[in-house]
Structure 1
Amino acid sequence: MSRSDAAKIGIVTVSDRASRGEYEDLGGPAIASYLNEVLTSAFEEIACVIPDDRRLIEETLRELCVKEGCCLVVTTGGTGPSARDVTPEATEAVCDRLMPGFGELMRKVSLEKVPTAILSRQTAGLLGNSLIVNLPGKPKAIAECLDAVFPAIPYCIDLMDGPRLETDPKRIEAFRPKKKSSI
């Protein structure tokens, strides 16, 4: 597969302080590392670090989905209860349809680890032929949440006529329904 045929995946870190360079972005690299570990199909990552500004988050999500053609956009940060945490609102504003099961499952898995996971407001939705998934900001929580929802992501992309994402079955097995025999 040539580089131009590779699936495009957006990675967006939403953080005032990281966007100003006050601390190192750990969330975006954690997502990239996860994808490199799990995916066996070719993909091109498009990563950016932006402040907690709803208008800018919305613009960035639209740019990645519509202009760049990302089949998947994964965000990290901005999902808590503070006044500047507006990633879920920005995601909901740009999406054509919401996928609430993603947030429900991520919270369930996170609640098994830490009681403050109930404060998390992760969500997911569809913009055109793109899936947007909001993740928490901590690398350990990112991996736990992705482990929970990633088995469904390749099939979701398939259903939107997106590129086929293949996973390493030793790490994560993508769920795709078995085709029924036509006999």
Structure 2
Amino acid sequence: MIKVAIITISDKGSKGLRQDKSGELLIKMIEEEGWIKSFYLIIPDEKEEIEQKLKEVADNNIADLILTTGGTGLAPRDVTPEATKNIIEKEVPGIPEKIRYATGENTPMAYLSRGVCGIRKFTLIINFPGSTKAVKECFEAVKDLIPHGINILKGEITEH
């Protein structure tokens, strides 16, 4: 069973000024896969706060997988990739490459997303953009890879 933490990065969402449709969609999609939501939070686009929450979830084994949504674009306050890079121990570049390739087929602007993926302790962290369309497409692009990656992280698969 995969435990998933969902962290939405949104200034307006964190203040209650916008409904978190992307986070809600992620919850629905992970539950459809039979995965368990172990943590959910909406926080502002503040690098230190993003770093702190990612570390808290990974270091306390709250989740096997952290999916972030938001803060991956080109705007000055989009700092999710930088925060993620600051706390991961290993980068997993193939996942964002697959995401951009798969979603770029439908939406060329997908190549402007700066999302990254990496590992901290025994937790896989993947950054998704903030729109519901992007979240759906990104999740669909990598959902079949995730269980195998988590099993390797947990030591349940030693050969691959």
TM-score bracket relative to the smaller structure: over 0.9
State the 1:51 CA deviation.
0.1
Where in structure 2 are there 5+ consecutive unaligned residues?
none
Spell out structure 1 runs of 4+ moving beyond 6 A: none
> Alignment partner for residue 27 of structure 1, among 12, 18, 22?
22
8 Å contact from structure 1 (residues 99, 124) kept in 2: yes
State how many pairs are aligned: 159
Match status 1:138 vs 2:143 = no
CA distance 1:25–1:163, shift in 2 (3 Å): farther
Letter in 2 for 1:151: D
| Residue 157 of structure 2 is aligned to residue 161 of structure 1 | no
**Following the alignment from structure 1 to structure 2, what is the Cα–Cα distance between the partners of residues 55 and 34?**
28
Q: CA deviation at 1:7?
A: 4.2
Question: What's 1:107 paired with?
Answer: 100
Partner amino acid for 2:143?
F
Q: Counterparts in 2 of 1:1-183, with a 5 A limit? A: 7-39=2-34, 43-161=36-154
Instruction: Compute the RMSD of aligned alpha carbons.
Output: 1.8
- CA drift at 1:60: 0.4
2:2 and 2:142 mapped to 1: Cα distance?
A: 19
Report the alpha carbon displacement of residue 129 of structure 1 after superposing the two structures with TM.
0.4
TM-score normalised by the chain length of structure 2:
0.93
| Percent sequence identity over aligned pairs | 36
On the 8 A contact 1:14/1:87 being kept in 2, the answer is: yes
**Whose radius of gyration is greater, 1 or 2?**
1
